[in-house]
Amino acid sequence: LRYTRPGTSRPQISQVTRRRFLVAGVSAAISGIALAKGSAVVRAGSGRPGTDLAGEPLMEPPIRSSSGGLLQTSLEARTVSHQVGGRNVLSNVYERMFPAPTLHVRPGDTVKLHLSNQLEDITNLHLHGFHVSPSGNSDNVLLHIHPGESFDYEYHIPADHPAGLYWYHPHFHGLTTPQVFGGMAGAIIVEGDIDQIPGIEGARERLLLLHAIQLKGDSPIAFFDRNQVNFLRTVNGQLNPTFTIQPGETQRLRIANVSDSTWFWLKLDGHRMHQIAKDGNTYKRLVPRDDILIAPAERVEVLIQGGAPGSYSLRSLPFDQGFAVLPETVLATMVSQGSPVASAPLPSSLIPFNDLSKATVDRRRVITWQVLPRDDPQRANFLINNKLFDEDRVDIIPLLNSTEEWVLQNPSNVFHPFHIHINPFQTISVNGKPVDANSYEDTVSIPPRGEVVIRTRFLDFTGKFVFHCHILPHEDGGMMSVVDVVAPNDPLASTAVNAEGTNAQLLNSLRGNLFTCPVASSS
Ligand SMILES: [Cu+2]
C-alpha cells in the first residue's frame, strides 16, 4: 500500500486497520470495521429487518443530565453486539448501545467526561458544533487515545453558548469512518433560551438520530462497501419506528444526521415542518418547509402539529449524492390519534443573530475541495487546496477576534459538506446567489461544481482545530485541514501561512474524479 502520511510521527499501532479502511474508501467490498477477535456473535433471530419490526414504538437513548453546573460521565468505546433494526450487529459503539446516551447540559456548565478506549484502534472524541476550547483536554481532536487507554476530557461551556442540538463522535483521522459507521455517536442537548419561547416551551420533544449502516447478508457484522443503496437507514437504530401525536398537538422534533456519509431528504406526509433551528443555532424566525435536506452531521429542529387521525410516513426522498442515488425509504411512521387539542399558535420571530453579511471582513481565503483521479485505487485522494491532511502542518492562521470570508470551491462532481470546529459560520451565498441566512450553522453542503461563501469570526479561543468534509470517507482520505487561531501579539501572527493560491493550476491538473466522471473546468 502506498498511502503514507508525509511529515507525521504518528505511532504505527493502527496502521493495518487504517490502511485497510483507506482502501475501502476508494474501492469496493472491503470491510471497514475493526472487529474484536473472539467476540461472541449472537445470531439475529428476528428474520428480515424492516418487515416484522416495522411499527415498534420509537425509542430514545438514555439521558445523562448535568446538575449544579456539572456533568460528570464516562463513555466506553467497545466493539460489541448491539441492536440495529431488531437485528444483532457487531460493531463499534459507546456504552454498548446505539445511539449512545444523550447528554443534557446548560450554558455555563462544565462537562467532565472519562473516555475509555476498549477498541483495538486509536480513537478520540469530538463535541460537534461546540464553541469551547480546542486545546488540551477540551475539544482537541488531534489527541490519540490508544487501545486500552483512558482519557479525561473537560469542557467549559461558555455562559452564552447557543442552546440546541449537538452531537458527539470520534474524530481520529483515518478511522473516523468505521467508528461512526459502526455507531459511535450520541446527541448532546444544550438547554436554554429557545426552550422558553412561547409555542416551543412545553411542546413534547422527540429526538431522531438518523443513521445508515450496512450488514453483510445475514451476517451481523457491520460492513462498509460504499454501496449506499444497500444501507439500512435507521432512526435511533430502528427501522420504521412509530410515534404518536394528538390531532392539533405541537411536537418538537430534534433531528440529527449521525451517519458517516448518507444524506436524508425528509418529508412528512400531510404535514409541514416548521423549522426553528439548524446545527444548534436557533433560527431568527420560524420557516415552514415541505421538505428538508440534511447532510451528514447537520441537525435541524422542527415543530409539527398533528393532522387528522391517521398514519403518516416520515420519508427520505430519492436523492442523488453524486456517487449514489438513494432510493426513497420510510424512516418512521407518525400516528395521529386520541383526543384532538386546539393548536397553539406557532411562534414567528425567534432569536436574532449578529448578521455577518454586513460585517467588515479582515481576510478572504479561497479553499478548494478536490477529488483526484482514481488512477491509483490505493491512494488517498481527497484534498483541500492540493494538500492531504497532515496534523503536523498548519494550513491557516487566523487572528483571534478577526472576521474572515471563505470562498469554498468544489470542482468535483460530488457534494462536500463543509464543517469547521469551534466557531459556527454564516452562509453568505451559494453558487453566487445571496443567502438570507436564518442562523449560523456549523455544516453546509458545497454543491458539485459549485461554490459556497461563508463568513466566520474566530472568537474566544486560540489554538489548533480542523475543518473538513463531513463525508467521513473523504475526511479519512485526506480532506481535512488544520487551523491555528493566534492572538495578534503571537509571533505566528506575522507568518504568511494561508490556504490561498494555486487553484487555477490545480484545476488544470485534475483529470477526473473518484467516480470516473470528468471534472468540469473551473468557472
Ligand atoms: Cu467530501
DSSP characters for 173-223?
Answer: TTTHHHHHHHT--EEEEE-SGGGGSTTTTTPEEEEEEEEEE-B-TT--BB-
Please give the distance, rounded to the nearest whole angstrom, from the Cα atom of residue 479 to the centre of ligand 1. 7
Ligand 1 centre and the CA of 199: distance in Å? 38
Measured CA to CA, the distance from residue 264 to residue 250 in angstroms comes to: 23
Cell numbers describing residue 54: 416495522
CA of 266 to the centre of ligand 1 (A): 21
C-alpha cell at 188: 448532546
Q: Which residue has the cell 498511502?
A: 3
The answer to whether residues 507 and 513 touch, using CB atoms and an 8 Å cutoff, is no
Report the separation in Å between the CA atom of 102 and the middle of ligand 1, taken as the mean of its atom positions.
27
Cβ–Cβ under 8 Å, residues 245 and 338: no
How far, in Å, is the centroid of ligand 1 from the Cα of 382?
7
pLDDT at 339: 96
Q: How far away, in angstroms, is 315 Cα from ligand 1 center?
A: 24
Q: Compute the distance from residue 34 Cα to the ligand 1 centre, in Å.
A: 23
What torsion do the CA atoms of 4, 10, 13, 18 make, to the nearest 10 degrees? Answer: -40
99: preceding bond cis by omega (within 30 degrees): yes
Burial class (CB in 10 A: 0-12, 13-18, 19+), 344: middle
Contacts for 1 with CB less than 8 Å, ≥ 6 apart: 19, 22, 23, 378
Nearest by Cα to 33 from 174, 144, 217, 181: 181
Q: What is the 452 CA–ligand 1 centroid distance (Å)? A: 14
How far does residue 125's CA lie from ligand 1's centre (Å)? 21
Provide the H-helix boundaries in 62-173: none
What spacing in Å lies between the alpha carbon of 107 and ligand 1's midpoint? 32
Q: Retrieve residue 149's grid coordinates.
A: 487507554
C-alpha 393/C-alpha 222 separation (Å) is 34
The whole-angstrom separation of Cα 451 and Cα 497 is: 23
Q: How far is the CA of 52 from the centre of ligand 1 (A)?
A: 36
d(C-alpha 221, C-alpha 208), whole Å: 24
Measured CA distances, 426 to 202, 365, 421 (Å): 29, 15, 14
Ligand 1: centre distance to CA 436 (Å): 25
**Helix-, strand-, coil-residue percentages of the chain, each rounded to 5:** 10, 40, 50
Q: By the 8 A CB rule, do 59 and 242 touch? A: no
Q: Ligand 1 center to residue 73 CA distance, Å?
A: 33
The burial class, CB within 10 Å (0-12 / 13-18 / 19+), for 330 is middle
Contact 311, 334 (CB under 8 A): yes
**What pLDDT score does 295 carry?**
97
**Distance from the alpha carbon of residue 363 to the mean position of ligand 1, in angstroms:** 25
Sign of the torsion angle spanned by Cα atoms 483, 486, 488, 491: negative
Cα-to-centroid distance, 432 and ligand 1 (Å): 20
Say how many Å lie between the CA of residue 447 and the centre of ligand 1.
10
Q: Please give the distance, rounded to the nearest whole angstrom, from the Cα atom of residue 480 to the centre of ligand 1.
A: 9
Integer-rounded Cα Rg, in Å, for the chain is 22
Which neighbouring-strand residues pair with 363?
A: 404
- CA–CA separation, 348 and 96 (whole Å): 41
Alpha carbon of 514 to ligand 1 centroid (Å)? 11
**Distance from C-alpha of 497 to C-alpha of 479, rounded to nearest angstrom:** 18
Report the distance separating Cα 242 and Cα 426, nearest Å: 35
What is the distance in A from the centroid of ligand 1 to the CA of 44?
Answer: 34
- Distance between Cα 469 and ligand 1 center (Å): 5
* Distance of CA 185 from the midpoint of ligand 1 (Å): 20
What does the buried/exposed string (b/e) look like for 47-63 if buried means 16 or more CB atoms within 10 Å of the residue's CB? eebbeebbeeebebbee
- Determine the distance separating the centroid of ligand 1 and the alpha carbon of 188, expressed in angstroms: 25
86 Cα: distance to centroid of ligand 1 (angstroms): 31
Say how many Å lie between the CA of residue 368 and the centre of ligand 1: 11
Distance (Å) from CA 262 to ligand 1 centroid: 11
Q: How far is the CA of 448 from the centre of ligand 1 (A)?
A: 10
**Integer angstrom CA distances of residue 165 from 128, 140, 254:** 10, 20, 7
The one-letter code for the residue type at 52 is D
- Assess contact for 431 and 447: CB atoms under 8 A: yes
Q: What residue ranges of the chain have pLDDT lower than 50?
A: 1-53, 496-523
Query: 417 CA to middle of ligand 1, Å?
Result: 6
Task: Please tell me the distance between residue 359's alpha carbon and the centre of ligand 1 in angstroms.
Answer: 29
Alpha-carbon gap, residue 420 to 174, rounded angstroms: 18
